[in-house]
Amino acid sequence: MERITIWIGFALWATTAGCAASGGGDNGPDAQLGTADLVDDLEDGDDAILAAGGRVGNWYTFHDATATGTQMPSDADFTPASGGADGSKFSAETSGMGFTDWGAGMGFDLNNAGTTRGMYDASKYKTLAFKAKGNVTLRLAFEIAGTVPNTEGGQCAPSMTAGMECEDMHGTTIKLTADWKEYEIPFKDLKQEGWGKVVGFDPKTAMGISFQTAEPNVVFDFAIDDVRFYE
């Protein structure tokens, strides 16, 4: 399996020894990143991320309001898909088509026990890593309170004024391939897209991670596995 470290503007490609190891968990400490803190490897077969490191949350799917769009699984019945990275049992996967506004995706909260979305302090970490495959380019987004509307537990006052809108989240784009690959995203390289309210990236107010189609109106099928933080 290839390991890809994402920096804004270019990608570094490297071959990682040991990526073919079996099992659904992390393959061990990365020589450059140190010890991994596993967020979820889906191997328990449910929609909840691992209850570790003070994190609690569930995987979900989402999409724009295009009436003719279709997505599987639906948010109401999200379950891991059979088959994951490195021969593991499960992964998070979504597929669909027909969303013509901003597209569709999936993600999970970092502090949500099922009632209210809260903040999670991720400031001790420096990098987000995960394995992925698919047929589209994704927008990986790290949700912080300053970009999440206050009606959804965040700190952003909803606005219709151009340049002051909520949900311009910090992230980067990733072109997926048909084979599983490892992606390592340093927090310092996460950027807003530039259309909404300008907010400095503050990992102390982390709320969730999302993976969204980077373009609308595409036929999409992608999967995520072995999500980790690195200090």
The pLDDT value recorded for residue 7 is 41
Note whether 175 and 90 are within 8 A (CB): no
What is the three-class DSSP state of 181? Answer: strand
Closest C-alpha to 20, from 92, 85, 83: 85
Domain span at residue 53 reads 2-230
Q: What is the mean pLDDT of residues 59-66?
A: 96
The pLDDT value recorded for residue 1 is 59
The pLDDT value recorded for residue 19 is 37
The pLDDT value recorded for residue 13 is 30
Give pTM, 2 decimals: 0.86
Q: Which residues on neighbouring strands pair with residue 177, listed in sequence order? A: none
Say how many domains are in the chain: 1
Residue 161: CB atoms within 10 Å: 7
Q: What is the pLDDT of residues 110-149, one digit of tens each?
A: 999 998 999 999 999 999 999 999 999 999 999 999 999 9
Q: First vs last Cα of the chain: how many Å apart?
A: 23
Q: What is the mean pLDDT of residues 213-221?
A: 97
Q: Which residues on neighbouring strands pair with residue 220, listed in sequence order? A: 96
What is the three-class DSSP state of 93? Answer: strand
The pLDDT value recorded for residue 34 is 76
Q: What is the pLDDT of residues 33-48, one digit of tens each?
A: 778 899 999 999 999 9
Report residue 146 as tokens: 């300053």
- Pairing mode of beta strands 2-7, 181-186: parallel
- The C-alpha R_g of the chain, in whole angstroms, comes to 17
Report residue 52 as tokens: 């570790």
CATH number of the domain residue 171 falls in = 2.60.120.430
